[in-house]
Amino acid sequence: MVITKNHSPIILGQCLLLSKRSKFMPIVTIQQSPGRSKEQKQLLIQRITEAFEEAYELPPEAITVFFQNFDDEHWGKAGKLHCDRK
């Protein structure tokens, strides 16, 4: 799953094998600029977890979500660092 619009998060998904019965443990990484509140991140984790529970029929304990924040000096677009585009 990837979300891109302005400075919206990018969500990358991975799955780790839980057992030999083909159960997978999804690991979701959200790459974003800093600035989201704890409440916003909690809501996003809740909704991502619910989506995996429904789609993959997994318990919430099997789903891991990571947030990875990148300052404006640590990413670029169109050949320029984001901090230099302002």
Catalytic site residues?
26
DSSP secondary structure, 14-56, as one string:
EEEE-STTS-EEEEEEEEE-S---HHHHHHHHHHHHHHHHHHH
